[in-house]
Chain A
């Protein structure tokens, strides 16, 4: 029963990690941006969902929708106000754009985090789950919300896959991640692709944030940790590789769950860090990264 329990619990948290990291890695693949306000945007989505569903009494569905919409809005703001001006700035040398984008999004993330703490306090919030109650899976009592979290994560990832592989805009996106210059030669406007990738990113981060809020609960203090965990997963899987980060999310999720069950809950994250160092030293491009 224990192995099954680990299997089930690890699956839910891993699916959520996968969803959180997908948008993050897609954005790096397409536009070379590592968005360090990622965790803060997830927190914003969760807290808005909590607020709209509870304080405004709009119910969990409207709450979730409001959370995702807010994340989308903040993704656009992040791009328009911080990332794009840095990318287009003539006074920042090209080799330093990266550190500027990192510093800029980091500061932006801190601002969002502080604003949430100011308006809603840094107490953790939990979004009311869409469905409550538990079911027995082969003797393991599992909350329906946990199954729902995993299912919704995979539906979102599946829709992304369809978008990328079955639509024209999606194919352009994929092409941009392989060779942006070639794409401009074909007459695509890169800026429109960037907007598209930020839109996808915003929706994915929003869904991930709301689901996290319903599954585990979220505090503004978690913003940094959330960014760091997305960052680690993405590096483990290979920067820019979506399938790599999906696999990495499961490696991280299960390694953490296994450690918490079999060793001690207090060192949950340590093996992941060790693995990360080992991977970066031995195979810096990550599991499925290309170089």
Chain B
């Protein structure tokens, strides 16, 4: 029931988005391109939080490791983009494992704290080794995905659709249910004979893989890797807000929230500096009054039918 309803919502939207380049200009496509990458960040985060119950305060650790690995390979060794992306996402998975295996022993705010500290360390290291990483200035890359907005848009859109399908499928599969069970009550899930830790690590790896890949692609879209784009805490905060705003445990909601945030930030550009204030206030109102987020409500209604 839930599934069909989510799909009924998702398919027309995806179809409309696929046809969008016929109707709108390059600028809106550019905006949505960034929105799609953010959507992947948010969906990956949602898999970990919504389903495995682990609050990852540092999504940008995974994103940043993937992005900077890809960027460094391209900058120094001129590897072709696909190879950079592959190694980048692998690095994010390894980074995720190094972080997750010991950290999953911890519960409550401690897991969140480790992930937060991981971001701060990554940021410190990037700035410290500015000679190699470009530090705050960022690293400019010889290659770019494409300078044509439509092509870029289709890359990002296709990537988001595939990722969304995989993550959504996963969340509705038996594995997803086990994850959800262990997120809500790990002891009981373990008592039922499920290997909770193994499943959580798997979730972390998947989340890391897509985060890292999306980070790498975003970097090649801008053809600049900078701390402010893929590592800064503020980016991670936006990812979390997007997922909560769109509706936790829905995967699709996270994508909607992410695109909404990017679009809202831009629509409000005329009010200048106050844009961030208004977006934050709006997000706050949503989580206070509609804690299920945009989609939570929609899907909940569906459940009642």
Q: Do chains A and B touch in the complex (CB under 8 A)?
A: yes
A276 and B106 CA atoms in complex are apart in Å by 14
Please give me the residue from chain A that is nearest to B285 by CB atom.
A107
B117 interface contact, C-beta 8 A: yes
Given contacts A34-B109, A86-B288, contact A118 B273 (CB under 8 A): yes
B81 interface contact, C-beta 8 A: no
B110 interface contact, C-beta 8 A: yes
Q: For chain B residues 43-96, which have a beta carbon within 8 Å of chain A?
A: 49, 53, 55
A280 and B120 CA atoms in complex are apart in Å by 15
A56 interface contact, C-beta 8 A: no
Nearest CB of chain B from residue A84's CB, rounded to whole Å: 10
Residues of A within 8 A of B244 (CB): 99-100, 103
Given contacts A111-B280, A117-B273, contact A277 B117 (CB under 8 A): yes
Residues of B within 8 A of A82 (CB): 284, 288
The one of B114, B237, B274, B288 in contact with A277, judged by C-beta atoms closer than 8 angstroms, is B114
B161 interface contact, C-beta 8 A: no
Residues of B within 8 A of A99 (CB): 49, 55, 244
- Verify B287–A114 contact, CB threshold 8 A: no
- Verify B291–A89 contact, CB threshold 8 A: yes
Residues of A within 8 A of B121 (CB): 270, 273-274, 277
Q: For chain A residues 113-163, which have a beta carbon within 8 Å of chain B?
A: 114-115, 117-118
Nearest CB of chain A from residue B185's CB, rounded to whole Å: 9
Nearest CB of chain B from residue A11's CB, rounded to whole Å: 25
Count residues of chain A with CB under 8 A from any CB of chain B.
41
- Verify B276–A284 contact, CB threshold 8 A: no
A95 and B188 CA atoms in complex are apart in Å by 15
B240 interface contact, C-beta 8 A: yes
Residues of B within 8 A of A118 (CB): 273-274, 277
A155 and B110 CA atoms in complex are apart in Å by 31
A235 interface contact, C-beta 8 A: yes
B295 interface contact, C-beta 8 A: no
Nearest CB of chain B from residue A229's CB, rounded to whole Å: 10
Nearest CB of chain B from residue A267's CB, rounded to whole Å: 6
| Per-position 1/0 for B269-291, Cβ under 8 A of A | 00001101100110110011001
Residues of B within 8 A of A228 (CB): 116, 120, 233
A1 and B276 CA atoms in complex are apart in Å by 48
A2 and B53 CA atoms in complex are apart in Å by 49
- Verify B117–A110 contact, CB threshold 8 A: no
A89 and B291 CA atoms in complex are apart in Å by 9
- Verify B276–A110 contact, CB threshold 8 A: yes
A262 interface contact, C-beta 8 A: no
Please give me the residue from chain A that is nearest to B107 by CB atom.
A284
The one of B106, B120, B237 in contact with A106, judged by C-beta atoms closer than 8 angstroms, is B237
A138 and B30 CA atoms in complex are apart in Å by 63
Nearest CB of chain B from residue A285's CB, rounded to whole Å: 9
Other than the given A108-B284, A111-B277, 4 more pairs (CB < 8 A) read A107-B284, A224-B234, A269-B124, A280-B113
12 CB < 8 A contacts A-B: A91-B292, A98-B108, A100-B244, A110-B277, A110-B280, A111-B277, A111-B280, A111-B281, A114-B276, A224-B233, A231-B113, A280-B106
